[in-house]
Amino acid sequence: MKPDLRKALKLYLVTDPVLHRGRGVEATCEEALKAGVRFVQLRDKNASTRSLYDSALALRNLCNKYSSYFVVNDRIDIAMAVKADGVHLGQSDMPADVARAIMGSEAIIGVSVRTVDEAEKAKADGADYIAANLVFSTETKKDIKEPLGLEMVSTLSRASSLPMIAIGGINPENTALVINAGCAGVAVVTAVMNSDSPALQVERFLRVLNC
């Protein structure tokens, strides 16, 4: 049985096709899942449809093995093809209400937001959670110039009743700051995917998050 969604969102792993120290995405994710991650998002902006499908299928099976949630970034077709739990959408992707109509009431839909209006719209459109997009500077988010900062994160958390996760430059040292600013959890990429030991990094995060 998968955990409560809000609990699973406490530590949310986003994959990267390059940052895995040569272990490969699947092996890195398995280390993280063994250590306690219960939510994984497949993100690969440049993969072909077939390659993304193959990766999604492998990760869906892996997440099922560990009773963890699995969503696909952007690609509703891939998410549905592999029977993922849902999809994560950016502001330039398909609107959340359209995704909901296509995927059904059981699908988990997350939306990246940077403004109060976007947070309110995500709620109105039927999203299950929101992500404060780029809290701190990071090399994995090159399309956004300015980080939100903690004050804006706090504003966004007050603007929506949906659970909100923080993404962008998150590490064990600053996790408590975003939780105190109102986030339900943190989304991590480099800090786990590119770590010498993904399992040890997950354990560090979970200690801060009291999981």
> pLDDT tens, 80-112?
999 999 999 999 999 999 999 999 999 999 999
In DSSP notation, 118-175 reads HHHHHHHTT-SEEEEE-SS--TT-TT--S--HHHHHHHHHHH-SS-EEEESS--TTTH
- Quote the pLDDT of residue 144: 63
- Quote the pLDDT of residue 70: 98
Q: How far apart are CA 163 and CA 86, in angstroms?
A: 16
The percent of residues in the chain predicted with pLDDT above 70, rounded, is 96
For the chain, what is the mean pLDDT?
Answer: 95
Q: How far apart are CA 137 and CA 184, in angstroms?
A: 20
Per annotation, catalytic residue among 100, 141, 195, 204: 141
- Quote the pLDDT of residue 143: 63
The percent of residues in the chain predicted with pLDDT above 90, rounded, is 92
- Residue range 176-186: average pLDDT? 97
Per annotation, catalytic residue among 55, 68, 75, 112: 112
Q: In the chain, where are the structural domains located?
A: 5-84+131-209
141 assigned to active site:
yes
- Quote the pLDDT of residue 138: 72
- Quote the pLDDT of residue 210: 87
105 assigned to active site:
no
Secondary structure of residue 2 in the 3-state scheme: coil
CATH of 5-84+131-209, one of 3.30.230.10, 3.20.20.70, 3.90.420.10, 3.30.420.10: 3.20.20.70
- Residue range 17-38: average pLDDT? 96
Beta bridge partners of 165: 131, 185
Q: Which two tokens stand for residue 92?
A: 């330039």
- Quote the pLDDT of residue 142: 60
User: Which are the contacts of 109, defined by CB distance < 8 A and separation ≥ 6?
Assistant: 86, 87, 88, 89, 96, 99, 100, 103, 126, 127, 128
- Quote the pLDDT of residue 2: 87
10 assigned to active site:
no
Per annotation, catalytic residue among 43, 60, 75, 121: 43
H or E element at residue 190: helix 190-193
CA dist list (Å): 130 to 18, 151, 175: 25, 17, 17
